[in-house]
Amino acid sequence: MVGFGYDVHQFAEGRPLILGGVEIPHSHGLAGHSDADVLCHAIADAVLGALGLPDIGHYFPPGDPACLNINSLKILEKAAALCTEQGFELVNVDSTLVAEAPKVLPHREAMKANIGRALGLDPARVGIKATTNETMGFVGRREGIAAMAVAQVR
């Protein structure tokens, strides 16, 4: 079974930029109730979707004080635990970050290691790609970052 996830967050001043559990040097972070790790959120929704379960907002409501600034690797750990509870095995995940800046590929191996650890996957089974939006739309105007992901379970 396969699931798809998508997430987007606006840039915000005064917050660190966290992607794949890695703090990436940049002038802005992402706005959100959690750490706003758009990559982890898209991957978590892909895993949950493959299981036919509700999205991360069901498990981590945006207004819940317990979720304030939560490390999104914890969200991935919950998705992996639900996978096991449902009697499935996570096979792999693949994802794409869409951002004009910053360059994220220098941090890819660290992100793959973090995501793999949180999901109980070999980092070789965690795909992370990055692209720009060719200066079009909100991403092109550098207003935020989007991420898409797929996950396969068996």
- Which helix (H) or strand (E) is 139 found in, with range? helix 137-140
The C-alpha atoms of residue 32 and residue 138 are separated, in whole angstroms, by 17
Dihedral of CA atoms 87, 76, 144, 126 in degrees, nearest 10, equals: -80
- Give me the chain's average pLDDT, please: 97
Per-residue pLDDT of the chain in tens (154 residues, 90 and over written 9): 999 999 999 999 999 999 999 999 999 999 999 999 999 999 999 999 999 999 999 999 988 999 999 999 999 999 999 999 999 999 999 999 999 999 998 999 999 999 999 999 999 999 999 999 999 999 999 999 999 999 999 9
Report domain extents, the chain. 2-153
Q: Just give the CATH number of 2-153.
A: 3.30.1330.50
Q: pLDDT per residue over 103-119, tens digit each?
A: 998 999 999 999 999 99
Q: pLDDT per residue over 57-80, tens digit each?
A: 999 998 899 999 999 999 999 999
146: Cα separation from own chain's centroid: 9
